[in-house]
Amino acid sequence: MVFDNKKKRWENNPKHRKKSNSAVIGCEGRITGYFRNNTYWFSSKNCHTCDRGRGRSNTGVSAEDHRPKIQMVSPAPMWNISRESKETMTKVLQGCPDAWWENLPGQGSGRRWLRGINEVGKWNGEAVKQQIETMMRPYLEFIKNQYPCLRYWRVGALQTKPNTPSQYEKLQNQLHSDYSETALKREPGERPMSMIMALDAFNFLYEDKDDDDGDENVDDDDICSITVSSGHAIAFTNELFHAGGENMTKKRSIDCLRTS
C-alpha cells in the first residue's frame, strides 16, 4: 500500500508509469516470506516500483521512500553466529595496526573506523576484509532478499574507546546521515543502506520525529535510544539521521560495518 498525500488516505494496488508517456501499470514488486521451524528466508522477484514517477518534477524532487528507515536483524540459529566466532573476529580487528584506523569526523580518537582495508593493496588488509565479509554475509543476504537492487557493499569496522560520549554530544547535539542528498536521485529501492553488526553491544541514537510536531527542530524528545546486543545488527536507510551512543564502560567496543 502507498499513502496518497493529496487524498490523505492509503491506496491499494498502487500504480505507476515506467515512462512519462506509457500506460499505467500496477506495482511489479513482490516479496515472499518462507517460515519453517527455525529457518526463515525471503525472496523477491522484482524491485518495489510503486514510487517511480511519484513526486518527480523538473525541479528534481525525489520519490518517497517507503522502506522502514531502521530495522533490527536478529541472527537465525542456522547463521552460526557463536560466541567463538565473534571473539575470533574481535581479536582480528584488535590486531589491526593503529594506522589502519581513522578518526570519525568531529570525534577525535575516541571513535574510529577501519577505512583503509577497502583500498586494495594499500595496507594489505584484504584478509581482514574477507573475514568481515564472511561474518556479515548472512545479515547482508537477509537484507538483499528484501531489497534485491542493493548489489554493491563496502565493509569496515567501528571502534569506540571506553568513557566516550555519544556522537550526538560530540557534534554539539547534531545527528547525521551517512549519505549525501545525491542518493535521492536514485529510485527508492536502489538508495543506499548501512548496516552495523554488534560484536560488542552498543548504543545507537536516531531521529523519530512525529508528523504532527509543530517545528522542524530535532528536540531531545524526538530522539530514540536503543541498545544493539552482541550478535544482532541494525540496518538503516540513507534517510535516517542518527549517531553512535555513548560508551561509558571500561571496555573498548568494536563492531562490524557494511555500507552500500
160-199 pLDDT, tens digit per residue, is 999 999 999 998 888 888 888 778 778 888 889 999 999 9
Q: What's the chain's length in residues?
A: 260
Nearest CA among 161, 128, 240 for reference residue 195:
240
pLDDT band at 12 (very low <50, low <70, confident <90, very high): low
Strands 31-36 and 223-228: unpaired
Let me know if 114 is exposed, middle or buried by CB neighbors in 10 A (0-12, 13-18, 19+): buried
Q: What is the pLDDT of residue 89?
A: 95
Q: Is 208 helix (H, G, I), strand (E, B) or coil?
A: coil
Strands 193-198 and 15-17: unpaired
Least confident segment among 44-48, 73-77, 207-211, 239-243: 44-48
CATH 3.90.1150.10 fits 67-259, yes or no: no
Instruction: Classify residue 106 as left (phi > 0), alpha (psi -120 to 50) or beta.
Output: left
Q: Are 159 and 108 in contact (CB under 8 A)?
A: no
Q: What is the pTM of this model?
A: 0.74
* Average pLDDT rounded to a whole number, residues 93-116: 90
For 113, phi then psi, to 5°, come to -135, 150
Cα–Cα distance for residue pair 14/197, rounded to 1 Å: 34
Nearest CA among 146, 183, 185 for reference residue 260:
183
Nearest CA among 128, 179, 175, 176 for reference residue 155:
128
| Domain limits, CATH 2.60.120.620, in the chain | 67-259
Q: Are 256 and 132 in contact (CB under 8 A)?
A: yes
Cα–Cα distance for residue pair 199/104, rounded to 1 Å: 19
